[in-house]
Amino acid sequence: MSVKFPDLNLDKQLCFSLYAASRQVTRLYQPLLKRHDLTYPQYIVLLILWQTDGVMVKDIGHQSQLKSNTLTPLLKRLEQNGLVSRKRAKEDERQCYVFLTDKGKALENECACIPMEMMGQTDMSLDKLMQLKSLLDEFLQLQEKHGG
């Protein structure tokens, strides 16, 4: 058994590491984001909007890999906090466009220091972080190809 499948345990361990690392990163972000009354998933959505303002919920979903059942309540919270506004598209009433408010746009500058602060907390070389990202992206791409 251990000859035929020498690394049968690897995937357990890999998934375990991935799971723990992801939550650890979220924990690292939390104190930085709390200053701006943001959660980590809210920050992810804002990163998407700061890149391109006025995006459909569907497209935010595609970029973040989150569905409307997660995004709708999250976006409502961002709206309640005055960071975004949601408008139905006139040409297709099913679609909902999300726009940054002035406050939401201003927040981008206030959050500008976060990436730097995070980098400082990782203690890993830039080279290894890039390697890590590259491997994760390869995994995600293979998944997108295979899983639709």
Query: Residue numbers of the site for a second copy (CB under 8 A)?
Result: 5, 7-26, 28-29, 40, 44, 47, 64-65, 115-116, 118-119, 121-124, 126, 128-133, 135-140, 142-143, 146
Q: In the chain, what's the furthest Cα-to-Cα distance?
A: 63
CB of 14 to DNA, least distance (A): 16
CB of 122 to DNA, least distance (A): 16
**118, interface contact from DNA, a second copy, none, CB < 5-8 Å by kind:** a second copy
Q: How many CA atoms lie within 13 A of 135 on its CB side?
A: 8
| 64 contacts: CB under 8 Å, gap ≥ 6 | 41, 44, 45, 48, 71
Which of residues 63 and 70 has its CB atom nearest to DNA in the complex? Answer: 70
Distances (CA, A) of 131 to 124, 127, 134, 139: 11, 6, 5, 12
Site stretch for DNA (CB under 7 A), options 88-96, 104-112, 120-128, 137-145: 88-96
Q: How many CB atoms lie within 10 A of CB 132?
A: 13
Would you give the binding string for DNA spanning residues 56-85, x where CB under 7 A is met?
Answer: xxx--x---xxxxxxxxxxx-x--------
Cα 58 to the center of its chain, rounded Å:
15
Cross-strand bridge partners of residue 87:
97
Residues making contact with DNA (CB under 7 A): 23, 26-27, 30, 39-42, 56-58, 61, 65-75, 77, 86, 91-96
